[in-house]
Amino acid sequence: MTDKRVVDEIITKFLFNTCRLGPRLSEPVLQAVVSCASAVSYHSPTHEHAEFIPLITGSVAEFYIEPMLPHVGDIDTMSYPNNMLAIPRGHPPPTQLPAEFHDYVNVQEIVDSHLSGYVYLRLRYLLTKCTDNGKYNYLEYQECGQYSSMWNESAAERHGPALLQVYMNGLLEDLVFCVRCLSWPPQAADWPTRHRSYGWPDSATIYHVANNGCDVVQIAHRQCKQHEWMSKHLWRLSFSRAEILLINSWMPVQQIVYHLLRVVMKTEKFTESVDNSVLSTLSNYHIKTLMLWACELKPQS
């Protein structure tokens, strides 16, 4: 028992000494910045007048430690048009928007589907910015159906809702086009207020997460991918912004555990399907979700 404790202490000291605070600039971070610049200059054939607002997500944004083994397999970015906004069903149209939004903004209403976390978007309002006070007036659309995908990217390789891009240096980028929702959605209304026995996340983090809203990405549930209509009209709520804030609030030891679990997943090939079935494939997202739950349900010790 004593020998095991000594080995544990040696390994723990090694991990703390090798997984240090990351440098401000690294190749993945620089590549993510380049990707964001590319997203800003992108113009969709269906949204000619839109500018795209990028967000770095995934490992580059989540890890503030520099682990002993590379943890960035690809660059993950999200990008939303500044002339489109999503709001929860029944919410009034906003009269004020962040400065990056266009003078004319189409507002999509988020409508629940029969699948948890999956929604439809229905075009509901047109916002126009008033030059006098900077506030937005609205015009309500009549008889608008569900909104389908706005991206004409059928030739690109897809990873779920993401488009795959390959760079000269071998780095891969998963680019997700999305619609911004500035409000915390009612589908997750219980998250900010549910009981937490050990005080994580703290009230300041919860407030920051809830006030940062979410995004909506165009992807059909696996049960609906073969359905001609739903495969084009289903969207999914995305909480990538919330995940970044929560994971960045972890202690270094929690980040190290998360990193090691991801290493085990990769080296033991748990992310590879045994029988080529989608259902049997694990992913880093499973590890992330389990870690977030564990941090709520167990004390930090």
CA distances from 115 to 109, 220, 234 (A): 17, 10, 10
Given a contact cutoff of 8 angstroms between Cβ atoms, the answer to whether 179 and 165 are in contact is no
Per-residue pLDDT of 90-104, as tens digits, reads 999 999 999 999 999
Kindly indicate the confidence band of residue 278, based on its pLDDT and cuts at 50, 70 and 90.
Answer: low
d(CA 242, CA 199): 17
Inside any domain, residue 194:
yes
Per-residue pLDDT of 115-165, as tens digits, reads 999 999 999 999 999 988 989 999 999 866 666 555 555 445 666 676 666
Inside any domain, residue 240:
yes
pTM: 0.82
- The per-residue pLDDT of the chain, averaged, comes to 81
On the question of pLDDT at 27 being above 60, the answer is: no
Strands of the chain (E only): list them.
20-21, 52-57, 65-66, 74-81, 84-88, 104-112, 118-129, 136-140, 146-147, 158-159, 162-166, 172-181, 214-218, 235-238
Number of domains in the chain: 1
Section 242-250 average pLDDT = 95
Inside any domain, residue 11:
no
d(CA 142, CA 129): 21
CA 84 to chain centre: 18
Section 69-77 average pLDDT = 69
Inside any domain, residue 3:
no
Token pair for residue 282? 């694990």
Q: What percent of the chain has pLDDT over 90?
A: 43
d(CA 248, CA 250): 5
Most confident of 75-84, 138-147, 167-176: 75-84
Inside any domain, residue 209:
yes
On the question of pLDDT at 215 being above 60, the answer is: yes
CA distances from 249 to 62, 72, 81, 184, 242 (A): 10, 19, 29, 19, 11
3 state SS of 146: strand
Q: Which residue has the higher pLDDT, 102 or 279?
A: 102
Inside any domain, residue 291:
yes
Q: What are phi and psi of 55, to 5 degrees?
A: -145, 125
Inside any domain, residue 12:
no
Inside any domain, residue 4:
no
Which structural domain, as residue segments, surrounds residue 76?
17-297
DSSP bridge partners of 122: 109, 146
d(CA 257, CA 118): 31
Q: Which residue has the higher pLDDT, 300 or 22?
A: 300
